[in-house]
């Protein structure tokens, strides 16, 4: 019965998301774009999605957030934000947990999703992972956005972690951009997302509280591209430590 409920709740969450996008978010985004075209509309639209649309949606699907470490962040700061990635709900939680606004680096395949794909195309920076030229162009856009004062968000794993390991392999892109622009890396760890969304693939969701930890940002001032491996390893260790602490805090029966 529990498995059936989780599947039905996931179907409800997906339908609600697409419905709210169509009847609420898209009209608001279009109105803002028509009112003041350009970069000011983009920032206002992203703020609407992250801090108005997202909390309403999360409340309606019974997801609450418990965020630690917000005191380490400045809403107006320009960070390279990284987080672990295990579920389709992550990007919504990621956005709500940050006090400012940022642009996601999103895979181009998301453009094909009805309604949501249009939002991704307009609000995010997209990359075709199979195309080296697209990847290089995306890295250049990330650097440009950071220089304009935006924070940018990159999943260092590149895609959802479908393995039994706490983290998948990390790519270098986020860390190269952070060092190149000398921007700090803000590390966000979703420590219990697998409790709520047990499967990286398929429909699986239950209401509950997502526990999120922000680590103190890692400064990159003075680092060079030779320091990319060390920076990548430091971020990975930071995430692993929070994941391990959460797992150790759970009753033995829940870890079995």
Q: Rounded CA gap, 159 and 161, in Å?
A: 6
- From residue 213, alpha-carbon distances to 73, 93, 242, 249 in Å are 12, 12, 8, 15
pLDDT digits (tens, 9 = 90+) for 106-165: 888 888 888 888 898 888 888 776 677 767 777 788 888 898 889 999 999 999 999 989
- From residue 181, alpha-carbon distances to 58, 81, 114, 124, 224 in Å are 34, 13, 35, 19, 10
pLDDT digits (tens, 9 = 90+) for 188-230: 999 999 999 976 667 899 999 999 999 999 999 999 999 999 9
- Output the pLDDT for position 12: 97
- Output the pLDDT for position 14: 94
- From residue 129, alpha-carbon distances to 109, 159, 205 in Å are 9, 10, 28
Residues 6+ apart with CB under 8 A from 46: 101, 102, 103, 123
Query: Over the chain, what is the mean pLDDT?
Result: 91
Q: Which helix (H) or strand (E) holds 153?
A: strand 151-154
CA dihedral for 48, 208, 97, 160, sign (positive or negative): negative
Q: Which residues pair with 214 in a beta bridge?
A: 188
Q: How confident is the model at residue 57 (pLDDT cuts 50, 70, 90)?
A: very high
Q: Rounded CA gap, 90 and 192, in Å?
A: 11
């Amino acid at each position: 019965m529990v498995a059936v409920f989780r599947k039905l709740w996931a179907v409800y969450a997906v339908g609600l998301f697409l419905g709210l996008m169509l009847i609420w978010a898209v009209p608001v985004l279009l109105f803002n774009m028509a009112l003041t075209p350009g970069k000011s509309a983009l920032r206002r639209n992203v703020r609407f999605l992250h801090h108005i649309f997202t909390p309403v949606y999360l409340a309606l699907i019974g997801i609450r957030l418990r965020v630690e470490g917000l005191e380490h962040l400045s809403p107006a700061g320009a960070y390279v934000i990284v987080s672990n990635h295990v579920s389709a709900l992550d990007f919504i939680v990621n956005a709500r947990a940050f006090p400012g606004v940022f642009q996601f680096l999103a895979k181009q395949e998301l453009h094909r999703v009805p309604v949501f794909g249009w939002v991704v195309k307009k609000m995010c920076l997209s990359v075709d992972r199979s195309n080296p030229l697209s990847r290089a162009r995306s890295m250049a856009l990330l650097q440009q956005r950071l220089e304009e004062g935006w924070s940018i968000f990159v999943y260092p794993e590149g895609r959802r972690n479908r393995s039994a390991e706490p983290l998948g392999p990390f790519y270098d892109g986020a860390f190269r951009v952070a060092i190149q622009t000398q921007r700090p890396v803000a590390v966000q760890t979703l420590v219990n997302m697998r409790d709520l969304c047990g499967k990286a693939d398929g429909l699986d969701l239950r209401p509950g509280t997502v526990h999120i930890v922000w680590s103190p940002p890692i400064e990159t001032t003075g680092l060079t591209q030779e320091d990319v491996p060390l920076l990548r390893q430091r971020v990975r260790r930071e995430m692993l430590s929070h994941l391990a602490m959460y797992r150790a805090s759970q009753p033995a029966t829940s870890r079995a």
